[in-house]
Structure formats: C-alpha cells, structure tokens
C-alpha cells in the first residue's frame, strides 16, 4: 500500500507519532488510508450539503475496511461570480483544484481517493487530479437542485437571469422579479438544468468514474446518501482489484463521454473540460472530432435551458444509463470500457429502461438527428467556435447581420440594456478569452439580457469568452485564436456583416482576406488587464480555448 510509506518501519516512527496526534489507533493505521476530497463550503448552494455526503462516504469506506481521511477542495459559485470581476476567478480554479488535490494526495500517500465535488470547475478539476495521481478513485457529487416553481411552471436559474432582462424591457415589474428570485432556486444542489455542473457530473457516469445516478439523483434525496455509502464500498473494491483512473479514462472512454455529451445536449463548457482531463490522462483529444461525433449522434434530451425538463425529470426517466442504453441500440458506444463498478459499460447499462420517452427520446425518434453541440470554423474562428446547437431557435440556425463590437462584457451589457442592440445584430464580445480576460468569463448575463429583452430569436452573440450552460440562443463561444493573441475576432469592425451557418459548421465575417491582412498589420496587443496575483500568472501560462485552456510552462 502507498500509505505504508508513511506508516511502517522504524524510519517512519516520526510519521506514526503524527498519526497518533491525529487520534489514529494502531488498528486504523493497519488499514488502507482513503482520502476523501470534500468540496464542502457555505457559499455555493451546490456544496452546502456535501458535509452530509462526505459523512456517508466515510461510513461506507470504514464499513468496507478502510481508514477515511478528509481534506478540502475549493469551489466557486459561477452564479454568484457572474457579471463582475469574480467570473475571472471561475475557470482558473479548475487548475488550482487539480494542483492542490495532487499535492495533498501525493504528499500524504493516500492509497485511494473518493472525490466529492459538485459545481462547474470543481468536477473537471478533480477529474484532472484523479488522472494525475492515478490511485483508485470514485466520484460522488453533491447532486442537482430541484427545479423551482413560478406560477405553476418549473423553472431554473437561467429563467432568473432572463427575468432581469424582462424587467429592463418593461415586460415584468419589480414585484414579479422579486417573486422569481424567491421561487427559482428552492433547494441546495447544482442548478437544476443541464448546465455545466450537471453536465460534468453526468459525464462522470459516461466516462466510467461515477456510479449510476451520480449526475442525476437530486441533492435533497436520501438516495444520494445511499449512493455516497456505495461509493465508499466501491473504492475499496477498486483498491483490491487495482482499478485505477487511467484504466478507466481511456481514449475509448472519452469518445463515450463525447457521444453522451451530444445526446444529452450538455453545456459548451464540456468542450473545454474534456480535452483538459484527457490531457492529464496522457490522451490528446482534439475538439475537431466533436463534429464527427455529433454527426452520428442524435440529440435525445432537451433539458433546460434547451427545453422544459429538468435534472429531476432525467433522473426519473432512468438517468444517464438510460440515455446510454438508447445510444447502444445504434452501436454508438464502446461497451467494453471499464468503470468504477468493476464492470464494463455494457454490463452496467444492460436492461436499463427508458421510463419517459418525452424526457429521453428513443433513439429512432430524437429531438435532432445531430448532437447538441457543434464546432464552427471560418475566417473568424480558424481553430474553433463552439455552440450549443440544441438550444438555438430554428430561425437562428442560419443568420447574417451587422457586427456590434465590444471589447469587454460590461460594455455589451450596457448596450443591450440601453436598447442599442436591434433585431438582426450580431453582438461581438472580445478580449474575454483565457489570456484576454484573463480567465475566459462566462457570458450568461448578456445572453440572458438578449433573451429577456425579447431578442433571443433575432440576435446572435459571438465571443472568445465562454458561456454558462444556462445560456441559450445563437451563442457562439470559445472563438479561437482569441483577440488577445491577434486572432481574427480582434479584426472585426463595427458594421461588418457576420455570417453564421450552424448546419454547415461555418462562422465568417464578410470581409476579404486582403482587408483582414491589412487590419492585422495595424493591430496592436492591448495591455494586460491584470498585472499581479494568480490571474497574472495564469495569463502567462494558459493556452487557447480550443486546447481546453490547459496550462503550459
């Protein structure tokens, strides 16, 4: 056991004295030491119940013969961080989480790990750490929030942001806005639509690192406590069988995850996180393959913000395994991949039923014949631009309009709320990429403002930043190369005609190559927005969005 390096032999007597100081008994020191990474805090609604999840994991580990030891991981609430400088500190925490967890796991020689994350960067950060450390590891999340109820209809956080736009447009009053904010987020848990946190928790099941239900069992259900105990049992079985993350997170497993991603209609942020996780597992996952996967994968789910069903509905319908079972009917998954259950994907999903064909469409009757996400390319985005195709109105799948250019999110928000954006416009928000932000802020505020102002079916938005999973509409993010490094998005001028063709995977500005080349000669980099602290270090090390915004020395 790895932990023998700090427990056995005369030379480790000083180490044992410190375990004695922690209250370990001699019997406990003979057991495998299982690190439980707790993301509990009192600022993120998705994390306020994690202390109870952790207690259940500890019980499961102890019952199965291990010694559970808890240590922390940070997490940012993207909703609270949205629309101000705090959002610069969201994506960047993914790497802090991975780094700090690697440090804790290796410094203390844990034999195995149970990761207990929930929200947006917390899940991928811990998956990155799991791939690095490569000791037996199971994921069990805090679970999704139940949907809110406003005037008898289910709702979620995206509706709350859009209500702000509706108030600005004068279609609802102050009293109605207050009603929304008191009834939209009724419980603890990750926000109730197929946003980034729930997308990534669902993909832990698809990739094989989470038990069945990890992505969908609501946070407030006692079933999640039972799942947490089962995670404790499972990690001990993995330790006995020596099943490690890199045995699970293979190239085939990532292809399974991409396929399930397309079927579920997950957040565009998965296109950042999957390559970064694969990179840590020693696998190059080029996002150009996403369109190939999307072309052969039907979109089976339209959860909020794409539709009017929620995570609790997906759970009742059979969850991620039911979606995977539908996909297997057309041989779209590799069923031989190993998982944390000790069984293959095929064994896990055999005989799982789809219990609601309105929530999970049958494979022969999908919402769309293509997957929920598309990668666009063109003279604006020579590398990539990412759109959640399943959340785009049909009339916006092809769109041409004049560019309305803004060099930061705040300026765009002001123009939208001041009524300066008109039907047909294409809002361009640049210098918000991984380097330019720095931190690649989410643009839920402007997309929600556009929707709330009644422009969701007539105005598009493109950015080198990114979008919340709660964003909907013709919202194209991750445009690479980004403006800060002189990417073509930096060369767009006010009034240029932008051409968007999502079915053809195209994103272009109607300007000749010669004119763009002349503009490039005149382009000058902008001064760094942040010159000290973690963001300044991050800006120097971060790569492009199309590479997953990974860090390189």
Identify the pLDDT of residue 43. Answer: 98
Q: How far apart are the first and last CA of the chain?
A: 33
User: CB-side exposure of 196: number of CA atoms within 13 Å?
Assistant: 29
Report the C-alpha gap between 334 and 458 in whole angstroms. 40
Sheet holding 384-387, edge to edge: 374-376, 384-387, 475-480, 460-463, 426-429, 398-406, 497-501, 506-509
Report the C-alpha gap between 245 and 251 in whole angstroms. 12
Task: With beta carbons less than 8 A apart as the criterion, state whether 511 and 496 touch.
Answer: yes
pTM recorded for the entire structure: 0.96
Identify the pLDDT of residue 97. Answer: 98
- Closest C-alpha to 473, from 488, 487, 461, 490: 461
Which residue shows structure tokens 């980034």? Answer: 196
Instruction: Report mean pLDDT in 10-residue bins for the chain, 553 residues.
Output: 91 93 95 98 98 98 98 96 93 98 98 97 98 98 97 91 87 94 96 96 98 98 98 98 98 98 95 97 91 96 94 98 98 98 98 97 97 96 95 94 97 94 97 97 90 91 91 92 98 98 97 97 94 95 95 89
Which residue shows structure tokens 């000058």? Answer: 524
SS3 190: strand
Q: For residue 180, what are its two tokens? A: 């929304």
Instruction: Write a three-state SS string for 360-375.
Output: CCCCCCCCECCCCCEE
- Closest C-alpha to 493, from 453, 451, 522: 522
Active site residue 458: no
**H or E element in which residue 158 lies:** helix 157-169
- Closest C-alpha to 349, from 313, 317, 311, 318: 318
- The angle subtended at Cα 43 by Cα 45 and Cα 434, nearest 5°, is 95
Q: What are phi and psi of 82, to 5 degrees?
A: -65, 140
Identify the pLDDT of residue 164. Answer: 87
Identify the pLDDT of residue 469. Answer: 78
Angle, helix 196-207 to helix 251-264, in steps of 10 degrees: 140
Task: With beta carbons less than 8 A apart as the criterion, state whether 488 and 384 touch.
Answer: no
Which residue shows structure tokens 């427990």? Answer: 7
Report the C-alpha gap between 322 and 506 in whole angstroms. 33
Report the C-alpha gap between 13 and 63 in whole angstroms. 27
Q: What would the DSSP string read from start to end of 169-207? A: HTSS-HHHHHHHHHHS--SSSB-SSS-HHHHHHHHHHHH
- Closest C-alpha to 111, from 234, 3, 238: 3
Report the C-alpha gap between 122 and 247 in whole angstroms. 22
Q: CA separation (Å) from 104 to 54, 70, 73, 393?
A: 17, 11, 10, 46
Taking the CA atoms of the chain, what radius of gyration do you get in angstroms?
A: 23
Query: Which of the following is catalytic: 90, 158, 199, 468?
Result: 468
Identify the pLDDT of residue 470. Answer: 76
Q: What would the DSSP string read from start to end of 410-452? A: HHHHHHHHTT---TT-EEEE-S-STTTTTS--B-HHHHHHHHH
Task: With beta carbons less than 8 A apart as the criterion, state whether 376 and 399 touch.
Answer: no
Identify the pLDDT of residue 444. Answer: 86
Q: What are phi and psi of 512, to 5 degrees?
A: -70, 160
């Amino acid at each position: 056991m790895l932990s023998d390096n700090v427990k056995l032999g005369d030379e480790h007597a000083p180490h044992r004295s410190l375990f004695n100081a922690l209250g370990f008994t001699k019997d406990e020191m003979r057991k495998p030491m299982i690190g439980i990474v707790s993301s509990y805090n009192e600022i993120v609604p998705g994390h306020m119940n994690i202390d109870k999840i952790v207690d259940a994991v500890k019980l499961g580990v102890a019952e199965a013969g291990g010694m559970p030891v808890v240590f922390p991981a940070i997490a940012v609430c993207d909703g609270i961080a949205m629309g101000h400088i705090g959002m610069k500190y969201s994506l960047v925490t993914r790497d802090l989480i991975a780094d700090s967890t690697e440090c804790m796991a290796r410094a203390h020689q844990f034999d195995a790990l149970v990761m207990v994350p929930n929200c947006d960067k917390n899940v991928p950060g811990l998956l990155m750490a799991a791939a690095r450390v490569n000791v037996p590891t199971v994921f069990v999340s805090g679970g999704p929030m139940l949907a809110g109820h406003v005037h008898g209809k289910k709702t979620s956080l995206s509706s709350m942001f859009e209500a702000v736009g509706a108030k600005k447009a004068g279609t609802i009053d102050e009293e109605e806005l207050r009603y929304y904010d008191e009834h939209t987020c009724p419980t603890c848990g990750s926000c109730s639509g197929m946003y980034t946190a729930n997308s990534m928790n669902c993909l832990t099941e698809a990739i094989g690192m989470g038990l069945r239900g990890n992505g969908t069992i609501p946070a407030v259900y006692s079933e999640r406590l039972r799942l947490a105990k089962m995670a404790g049992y499972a990690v001990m079985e993995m330790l006995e069988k020596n099943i490690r993350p890199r045995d699970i997170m293979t190239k085939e497993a990532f292809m399974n995850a991409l396929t399930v991603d397309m079927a579920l209609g997950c957040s565009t942020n998965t296109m950042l996180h999957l390559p970064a996780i694969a990179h840590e597992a020693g696998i190059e996952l080029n996002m150009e393959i996403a369109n190939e996967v999307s072309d052969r994968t039907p979109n089976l789910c339209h959860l909020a913000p794409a539709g009017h069903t929620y995570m609790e509905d997906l759970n009742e319908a059979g969850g991620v395994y039911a979606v995977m079972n539908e996909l297997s009917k057309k041989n779209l998954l590799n069923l031989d991949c190993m998982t944390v259950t000790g069984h293959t994907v095929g064994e896990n999903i055999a005989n799982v039923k789809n219990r609601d064909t309105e929530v999970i469409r049958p494979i022969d009757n999908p919402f769309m014949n293509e997957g929920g996400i598309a990668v666009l390319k063109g003279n604006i985005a020579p590398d990539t631009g990412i759109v959640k195709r399943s959340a785009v109105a049909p009339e916006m799948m092809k769109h041409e309009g004049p560019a309305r250019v803004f060099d930061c999110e705040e300026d765009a928000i002001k123009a939208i709320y001041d009524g300066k954006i008109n039907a047909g416009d294409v809002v361009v928000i640049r210098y918000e990429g991984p380097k330019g932000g720095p931190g690649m802020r989410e643009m839920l505020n402007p997309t929600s403002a556009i929707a709330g102002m009644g422009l969701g079916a007539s105005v598009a938005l493109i950015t080198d930043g990114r979008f919340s999973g709660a964003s909907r509409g013709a919202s194209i993010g991750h445009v690479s190369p980004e403006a800060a490094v002189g990417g073509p998005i930096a060369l767009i001028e006010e009034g240029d005609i932008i051409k968007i063709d999502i079915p053809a995977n195209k994103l272009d500005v109607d300007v000749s190559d010669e004119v763009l080349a002349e503009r490039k000669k005149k382009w000058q980099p902008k001064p760094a927005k942040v010159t000290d602290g973690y963001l300044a270090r991050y800006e120097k090390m971060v790569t492009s969005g199309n590479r997953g915004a990974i860090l390189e020395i």
